[in-house]
Chains A and B, each alone.
Chain A
Amino acid sequence: MRLVVDLNRCQGYAQCAFLAPDVFAMHGDESLLYNPDADEAQREYVERAVAACPVQAILVDQVETPAGAAAGAATSAQEAPRER
Chain B
Amino acid sequence: MSVDGFLQRLRSEGRIVVVGASLAGLRAAETLRAEGFTGTLTLIGDEPYEPYDRPPLSKQVLLGRASAEHTALPRRRAIDAEWRLGVPATGLDMAAKRVRLADGDEVPYDRLLIATGVRARPWPNEAEAGLDGVFVLRTRDDAVALQRRLAEEPRRVFVIGAGFTGSEIASACHERGLPVTVAERGDAPLVGALGGVVGRVAAELQREHGVDLRTGVMVTRLEGDSAGRVRAAHLSDGSEVEADVVVVSLGATRNTEWLAGSGLGAGPRGIACDAGCRAFDIRGIVTDDIFVAGDVARSPHPLFGYQFLSLEHWGNAVSQAEIAAHNMLSDSVDRRPHMWVPAFWSSQFGVSIKSVGVPSMGTEILIAQGALAERRFTGVYGYQGRVIGAVTFDQTRWLEFYQHLIETTAPFPPPFPTVDRRSDGQRPLPADFPDPSVPTHGPTVTLSGYSPADRRITFTPGRH
- B345: interface (CB < 8 Å): yes
Contact A8 B72 (CB under 8 A): no
A10 CB contacts on chain B under 8 angstroms:
345, 396
Chain A, 8-58, CB within 8 A of any chain B CB: 8, 10-12, 25, 27-37
Contact A73 B85 (CB under 8 A): yes
Chain B, 51-98, CB within 8 A of any chain A CB: 51, 53, 55-56, 59-60, 63, 65-67, 70-87
Chain B residue nearest to A34 (CB atoms) is B60
Contact A29 B83 (CB under 8 A): no
B318 CB contacts on chain A under 8 angstroms:
6
Most buried by B among A7, A27, A61, A69: A7
Contact A8 B80 (CB under 8 A): no
Contact B347 A36 (CB under 8 A): no
- B428: interface (CB < 8 Å): no
B72 CB contacts on chain A under 8 angstroms:
2, 36-37, 65
Partner of A28, one of B50, B56, B350: B350
Partner of B315, one of A6, A25, A78: A6
Q: Please report B residues at the A interface, Cβ cutoff 8 Å.
A: 21, 43, 48-51, 53, 55-56, 59-60, 63, 65-67, 70-87, 103, 314-315, 318, 343-345, 347, 349-352, 354, 376, 394-397
A29 CB contacts on chain B under 8 angstroms:
350, 352, 376, 394
A36 CB contacts on chain B under 8 angstroms:
53, 56, 60, 66, 70-72
Contact B85 A12 (CB under 8 A): no
Chain A interface, >50% SS class: loop
Q: Please report A residues at the B interface, Cβ cutoff 8 Å.
A: 1-4, 6-8, 10-12, 25, 27-37, 59-63, 65, 69-81
Q: A62-B76, A71-B85 are in contact. Are A4 and B53 (CB under 8 A)?
A: yes
The complex places the Cα of A34 from the Cα of B66 at a distance, in Å, of: 8
Contact A71 B314 (CB under 8 A): no
The complex places the Cα of A76 from the Cα of B59 at a distance, in Å, of: 32
20 A-B pairs besides A3-B74, A8-B354, A36-B53 with CB distance below 8 A are A4-B73, A7-B55, A7-B314, A8-B345, A28-B352, A29-B394, A30-B394, A30-B396, A31-B350, A33-B63, A33-B66, A36-B60, A36-B71, A62-B77, A65-B75, A70-B21, A71-B50, A72-B83, A73-B87, A74-B84
Chain A residue nearest to B70 (CB atoms) is A37
Between-chain CB contacts (< 8 Å), 6 pairs: A6-B318, A12-B397, A28-B350, A35-B66, A71-B48, A78-B80
Partner of B83, one of A25, A33, A75: A75
Contact B84 A27 (CB under 8 A): no
Q: A6-B315, A8-B314, A70-B50 are in contact. Are A80 and B78 (CB under 8 A)?
A: yes
Contact A76 B82 (CB under 8 A): yes
The complex places the Cα of A50 from the Cα of B86 at a distance, in Å, of: 33
Q: A28-B394, A30-B352, A31-B352 are in contact. Are A77 and B80 (CB under 8 A)?
A: yes
Chain A residue nearest to B76 (CB atoms) is A62
A28 CB contacts on chain B under 8 angstroms:
347, 349-352, 394
B395 CB contacts on chain A under 8 angstroms:
30
The complex places the Cα of A35 from the Cα of B50 at a distance, in Å, of: 18
B81 CB contacts on chain A under 8 angstroms:
76-77
Most buried by B among A34, A36, A63: A36
Contact A35 B82 (CB under 8 A): no
The complex places the Cα of A34 from the Cα of B67 at a distance, in Å, of: 11
State the Cβ distance, B83 to closest chain A Cβ, in Å.
5
Contact A59 B76 (CB under 8 A): yes
Contact A37 B347 (CB under 8 A): no
A25 CB contacts on chain B under 8 angstroms:
65
Q: A4-B53, A74-B83 are in contact. Are A35 and B65 (CB under 8 A)?
A: yes
The complex places the Cα of A25 from the Cα of B76 at a distance, in Å, of: 24
Contact A81 B394 (CB under 8 A): no
Contact A12 B83 (CB under 8 A): no
The complex places the Cα of A32 from the Cα of B82 at a distance, in Å, of: 35
The complex places the Cα of A73 from the Cα of B76 at a distance, in Å, of: 22
A31 CB contacts on chain B under 8 angstroms:
347, 350-352
State the Cβ distance, A6 to closest chain B Cβ, in Å.
7
State the Cβ distance, B187 to closest chain A Cβ, in Å.
25
Contact B315 A37 (CB under 8 A): no
The complex places the Cα of A36 from the Cα of B347 at a distance, in Å, of: 16
